[in-house]
Amino acid sequence: MRKLLVMSNKGGVGKTTVAVNLSLLLSEENPTGLLDIDLHGPDAPRLLGLQKTEIKTQKHKLVPVKFNPNLYVMSLDFLIDKNRAVMWRGPLKTKAIQQLINDVLWPELDFLVIDLPPGTGDELITIMQMMRNSGSIIVSTSQAVSVEDAKRVINMSRSFDIPIIGLIENMSGEIFGSGKVEELAEKENIAFLGRLSLDKTVSNSLETGKPFILNKGTKSAKEFENITKNIKKMIKGAMD
């Protein structure tokens, strides 16, 4: 099983959108898991219309939710009280992350897509130390602020010897610009996986609980299919 770490330093750049739609596309051909450990906002279930799901345990292990015959989902969101702020001190957080990383009854999987918290702080260090056989996919917009943050994530991934599968430019277009993520990829000698445009098709899908990738044939779906194709190609290059 390969672990694909979807990362960004800055929040709000579409990390969860990428993780959810990537896991859906991968599941069309391979048994795939989606693990959402974004402590700051475990939003993957909402994007899949699963936000009110109650999960079961079996022999003290967490049973993932079967979204389709090939896609299984586990999220921190399933474990927390929705209306309270998640205000966890370090040790409790570490414990929750450990449980989600170690104690989930996944079936045999080819891929486990992991939606990480943004940032490069304590939580990330803890998580990176627990990861074996993983590669990182870094999401950024073309804004200077975001690109600079992406550089920090690249450095972190490298310092933990986690191979970088590549960079994705999200929200590409007139408002947040385009091109800077590809530039960064070239400069850092990392694969550029493609761009996903800022588009209502994508932003609306966050509200409806129906991932945009399921509407085949839209511009956004095509862009993301291309990105996923590149990820699969690069996994071989970067992780084998």
Binding site residues, a copy of itself, CB under 8 A: 9-13, 16, 39-41, 43, 46-47, 82-90, 93, 118-125, 143-145, 148-149, 151-153, 155-156, 159, 174-177, 198-200, 203, 206-207
| Neighbouring-strand partners of residue 62 | 57, 104
The span from the CA of 105 to the CA of 44, in Å, is 19
Rounded to a whole number of angstroms, the minimum distance from the CB of residue 217 to a copy of itself is 21
CB closer to a copy of itself, 3 vs 93: 93
**Consecutive H or E run containing 221:** helix 219-239
The span from the CA of 82 to the CA of 78, in Å, is 9
Rounded to a whole number of angstroms, the minimum distance from the CB of residue 82 to a copy of itself is 8
The span from the CA of 37 to the CA of 34, in Å, is 10
CB closer to a copy of itself, 162 vs 235: 162
Nearest residue to 111 (alpha-carbon basis) of 4, 234, 236, 206:
4
| Neighbouring-strand partners of residue 32 | 71, 111
User: In this structure, which amino acid lies at residue 179?
Assistant: G
CB closer to a copy of itself, 57 vs 155: 155
Rounded to a whole number of angstroms, the minimum distance from the CB of residue 11 to a copy of itself is 2
* 63, 56 Cβ separation under 8 angstroms: yes
Rounded to a whole number of angstroms, the minimum distance from the CB of residue 218 to a copy of itself is 15
CB closer to a copy of itself, 99 vs 143: 143
* 76, 96 Cβ separation under 8 angstroms: yes
The span from the CA of 198 to the CA of 189, in Å, is 26
Rounded to a whole number of angstroms, the minimum distance from the CB of residue 88 to a copy of itself is 7
CB closer to a copy of itself, 17 vs 23: 17
CB closer to a copy of itself, 17 vs 70: 17
Nearest residue to 131 (alpha-carbon basis) of 96, 89, 97:
97
Rounded to 10 degrees, the C-alpha dihedral 119/125/127/128 comes to: 100
CB closer to a copy of itself, 149 vs 223: 149
Nearest residue to 10 (alpha-carbon basis) of 143, 101, 112, 133:
143
Rounded to a whole number of angstroms, the minimum distance from the CB of residue 206 to a copy of itself is 6
Rounded to a whole number of angstroms, the minimum distance from the CB of residue 84 to a copy of itself is 6
